[in-house]
Structure 1
């Protein structure tokens, strides 16, 4: 059961694209703290292990300083340096074991949080009304749940452990310098103003570029996806050069922003090198003075120089990661922004419940673009269990009427009520339980046939799956597959025919078992023979349900309880098939043309 993302047949034209919500940095921080507080044991254990590893590493410069003192004093045998060397070896082992263990725990905590974020973001995207998603760029959504989450995953695996370790190592190393002599720490701090200047420059310069780069990547993804999804239309209307030009333009924009980010990073590292040179020069001068005046030994001065040298990697890693942090931060705001979509994944809208299986459209009008009305003043009521067919020429507004009845769109005028409840008062879960839309653009998900069917009802047993397939006359071919219901279909698996794919969608309708069903030309993708098979399958799938059927063939209208005829976005005729034929209006002419062509062996498409 799928819904289309565009409606060119109804004259909607190009929709105004709205970017999906983006969270603020404060939202990201609040979300992170909430997740840490929810499960604090593992983060605290990781912090303790990293502290132990850094502390072990700080022993190394002091032990090497002792070796320098022993050599400078002279008169000692080689055995005198045995103890400091053993200490160095033990400290290296402690640092490696505890730091590695701590980094692994940090990464694991991050992966768990990321999994929760990814599932929440996808759940929100699936729960939000399709109308809201259709107003946005599909590339924007795809880039958030793919490239943005991939960027966050990479940050979790490498960046977060690096940052945590760097912060702890810098802090504890400065404490060690203070313990040696406060003047060493003061000399080392001379590098800080230059580092702060470099970071402020990077943040000011890189942040807008990184944000623009993420948006440009989403636009590029949108352009490619729309071109691929609409390949037939693009070729039919000879739009290939224009689409290629649009993709080339998006690629150039993305490339130029990436190169600009690289240039910014190169200049930033140059500024960090200046800061390192300044700090190390100051510390060597201070060490020289303190040794000459007898305030410290040469071993202590050597240890101070080694401590400062140890700061090069964590400081540079920390400061240079600001560029990656900004990229990850931009990705986090986009992924967590999906949580701001207005429809909740769970819960109901108050205590609202449907009271039946009726469908009512009261004075309904709709426009996709302001000033361009595609449906005008539609008044329709479907009684429980009634089947109504909708016919009309291309662009008459049939698909728009179907989407409004299915709750995919909210009308810009009038009201739609399902089971006596207005759409605006229905939560997303209640809407999904009440009505289902099946159209001609059926998607076959990658996985087993059973998994694809269980998308409609996750707890369905094998017997129930087979019964649903039997209802739509698909059981025989399904059981004839190499592994039966366990056969992998979709991308990377068995390719289903258009008829089989549509039968699969109708079987999902049977499993979901909503009281109301909307079929929007659900047999249009099959040939004449396939259409007859699907019409029979749809007939059985709709049994006992209130149904609105956008008819691809007039045989569907003949079997309906009533027929609505649309023209230019208005209902111009309504009644039973026999009544409309007897009235001699537009439907009668359409029926006469269809019946005559059918007698000659050619059946035209009434839509």
Structure 2
């Protein structure tokens, strides 16, 4: 398709995540952060893990004892081999086999129960820690770290670690004990025949090493391709309105088909590796068993080994190759969990850009004076948005910020709410630097309402209570009435108990904005910042809000950022910004009366548009 970007060169952030982790794994290195995170997660369970290891040892010892007991039963308990008719040795061996089987079953049950408890506790703690840390990170982090990556950390990465805890520990310990234990027992039973059996080791080592390297490369490719599939799917569905509005379904489908096919082909490569590895292990195992049977039969025929020893060898060899078959699954699980640990450790090591003070300054109910003292700020180093701003907003004053896009209006709002810290200078509330206030104290006193107000799952009442969860229903209704939202809420199917779904999809943009205003009004902050908060309202809704705003803003400091001059008119003071500097400062009436300033020009253009 002409003009369609080549998906093979189109990469998303999730693919970069997969690349970085896979590169470390391919190189055989696991980052110090992931090792430290794993130690921290498992540290509270050190005693339980030791007991779990003991249970696994007991289980495998019981399992490995059974072929040896079979050997004893054959050599000393079967009547044709014995010179008398005493069945006591055979019955004793059978009883021991049953006891070993029961011990293995009980140990296995205990292992699965303990492993499940430890695994779930570890994952529960990890999910809480990741969620808490993501909430503590500042908006600047979330501006650059996409929501898809956040979701991936909390879901697929945690699931990969769970799979490792669920099957990896068991598979690794069992394989190690089986391989070492079986090799030792074979040599103990008969050194000569044992050495013949262990001739397969070099071939197993070569095949396993090949598979390890090839699967690491294959894993990296499959993780990259699945990341491309996920990123394209999420972006297409997230922007579905734009896709349908511009009739770009065919283009997006073409990209998706290509990345999906790349993912399919990458998986086929991985399946082919397993298709060679599994039969290869089985082939080596069967050839080894045949060789042992041939040579062992010859030794037994000549009386150099007993029939019981030969039978035990054959049973042990069956056990010996079983864990080798599971190594492929374990290795892929280990890679996935290691990559997940790398990414989670990277997030958890991320320091908040607006850290909590070590010794916060106490502040009760603020009066609401906001001061910007020689504040400089830049999103990108060397490109200041606010070069050196001095501004004092007295308590109880309503200030409107006006200016062109990029003038610094929203930046001032973000600094006043401490979504960001200034590059230089100080932002103060009642004379206290915001960096000295605890986060809860600041949020109790300063609230910002934006045009992109998010409504959470739950009832309408729950969403209004968001800023004050202990508010009664009467207080919720009073807040809605004050903002003019009561009528449309009451008209909904269950009134205030109506469930909000799909981020408030059943509400209009104006209705969502009114709910957000009610939420801020109920929180009752000392400073209220409205960032383009009326931009989504239609004319009737705006009129309702205009009447309510005077009540909402009474008795508190307010900062209004708006392009609609109908909203600006209720302000006590207007600041016109240009390139981060205040170029006009006065009441709306004073600035309009001047006739020649920037605000007067904006006001005249607005009046002409109404005409």
| Match for residue 523 of structure 1 among 529, 534, 556 | 534
Q: How far 1:436 sits from its partner (Å)?
A: 3.2
Determine if contact 1:140/1:221 at 8 Å carries over to the other structure: no
Q: How far 1:242 sits from its partner (Å)?
A: 6.7
Determine if contact 2:274/2:328 at 8 Å carries over to the other structure: no
| Match for residue 361 of structure 2 among 353, 356, 359 | 353
* Partner of residue 35, structure 2: 29
1:97-496 paired onto structure 2 within 5 Å? 97-174=106-183, 176-177=185-186, 179-181=188-190, 186-187=195-196, 189-207=198-216, 209-211=218-220, 213-214=222-223, 217-218=226-227, 220-232=229-241, 251=260, 254-269=263-278, 271-273=280-282, 275-277=284-286, 280=289, 283-284=292-293, 287-288=296-297, 291=300, 294-343=303-352, 348-353=356-361, 357-362=368-373, 368=379, 377-394=388-405, 396-410=407-421, 416-418=427-429, 420=431, 432-433=443-444, 435-449=446-460, 451-453=462-464, 455-458=466-469, 465-466=476-477, 468-469=479-480, 471-474=482-485, 487-491=498-502, 495-496=506-507
Deviates more, 1:263-272 or 1:53-62: 263-272
More relative contact order in 1 or in 2 (CA 8 Å, sep 6+)?
1
Deviates more, 1:35-44 or 1:411-420: 411-420
* Pair 436,500 (structure 1): closer, same or farther in 2 beyond 3 Å: same
**Counterpart secondary structure, 1:269:** helix
* In structure 1, C-alpha distance between the alignment counterparts of 2:311 and 2:372, rounded to whole Å: 84
Q: How far 1:117 sits from its partner (Å)?
A: 1.0
* Partner of residue 598, structure 2: 586
Determine if the alignment matches structure 1 residue 595 to structure 2 residue 607.
Answer: yes
* In structure 1, C-alpha distance between the alignment counterparts of 2:512 and 2:590, rounded to whole Å: 35
Q: How far 1:338 sits from its partner (Å)?
A: 1.7
Q: How far 1:65 sits from its partner (Å)?
A: 3.0
Determine if contact 1:503/1:537 at 8 Å carries over to the other structure: no
* Pair 251,49 (structure 1): closer, same or farther in 2 beyond 3 Å: same
* Pair 353,480 (structure 1): closer, same or farther in 2 beyond 3 Å: farther
* Pair 276,426 (structure 1): closer, same or farther in 2 beyond 3 Å: farther
State the aligned residue count. 584
Determine if contact 2:370/2:429 at 8 Å carries over to the other structure: yes
**Counterpart secondary structure, 1:408:** coil
* In structure 2, C-alpha distance between the alignment counterparts of 1:413 and 1:388, rounded to whole Å: 23
**Counterpart secondary structure, 1:148:** helix
* Partner of residue 5, structure 2: none
Q: How far 1:340 sits from its partner (Å)?
A: 0.8
Q: Which consecutive residues of structure 1, in runs of 5 or more, have no partner in the other structure?
A: 1-14, 601-607
**Counterpart secondary structure, 2:575:** strand
Q: How far 1:253 sits from its partner (Å)?
A: 5.3
Q: Which consecutive residues of structure 2, in runs of 5 or more, have no partner in the other structure?
A: 1-11, 25-29
Determine if the alignment matches structure 1 residue 65 to structure 2 residue 104.
Answer: no
Task: Compute the RMSD of aligned alpha carbons.
Answer: 4.2
* In structure 2, C-alpha distance between the alignment counterparts of 1:538 and 1:19, rounded to whole Å: 47
Determine if contact 1:516/1:546 at 8 Å carries over to the other structure: yes
* In structure 2, C-alpha distance between the alignment counterparts of 1:304 and 1:374, rounded to whole Å: 78
* In structure 2, C-alpha distance between the alignment counterparts of 1:532 and 1:391, rounded to whole Å: 20
* Pair 428,235 (structure 1): closer, same or farther in 2 beyond 3 Å: farther
Deviates more, 1:122-131 or 1:196-205: 196-205
Deviations 1:192-225 (A, max 9, x none): 4444444444444443553564455455544444
Determine if contact 2:15/2:223 at 8 Å carries over to the other structure: no
* Pair 247,388 (structure 1): closer, same or farther in 2 beyond 3 Å: farther
Q: How far 1:540 sits from its partner (Å)?
A: 4.5
* Partner of residue 7, structure 2: none
Calculate the TM-score normalised by the size of structure 1.
0.80
* In structure 2, C-alpha distance between the alignment counterparts of 1:108 and 1:394, rounded to whole Å: 55
* Pair 559,341 (structure 1): closer, same or farther in 2 beyond 3 Å: same
* In structure 2, C-alpha distance between the alignment counterparts of 1:245 and 1:160, rounded to whole Å: 42
* Pair 304,17 (structure 1): closer, same or farther in 2 beyond 3 Å: closer
* In structure 2, C-alpha distance between the alignment counterparts of 1:514 and 1:213, rounded to whole Å: 50
Deviations 1:81-129 (A, max 9, x none): 6665555455444433431331232122112101211121122112111
**Counterpart secondary structure, 2:357:** coil
* Pair 485,362 (structure 1): closer, same or farther in 2 beyond 3 Å: same
Deviates more, 1:231-240 or 1:560-569: 231-240
* In structure 1, C-alpha distance between the alignment counterparts of 2:524 and 2:200, rounded to whole Å: 69
* In structure 1, C-alpha distance between the alignment counterparts of 2:235 and 2:243, rounded to whole Å: 10
* In structure 2, C-alpha distance between the alignment counterparts of 1:525 and 1:40, rounded to whole Å: 55
Q: How far 1:375 sits from its partner (Å)?
A: 5.6
* Pair 397,260 (structure 1): closer, same or farther in 2 beyond 3 Å: farther
Q: How far 1:592 sits from its partner (Å)?
A: 2.8
Determine if contact 1:509/1:541 at 8 Å carries over to the other structure: no
Deviates more, 1:132-141 or 1:66-75: 66-75
* In structure 1, C-alpha distance between the alignment counterparts of 2:85 and 2:544, rounded to whole Å: 97
* Partner of residue 27, structure 2: none
Determine if contact 2:357/2:435 at 8 Å carries over to the other structure: no
* Partner of residue 8, structure 2: none
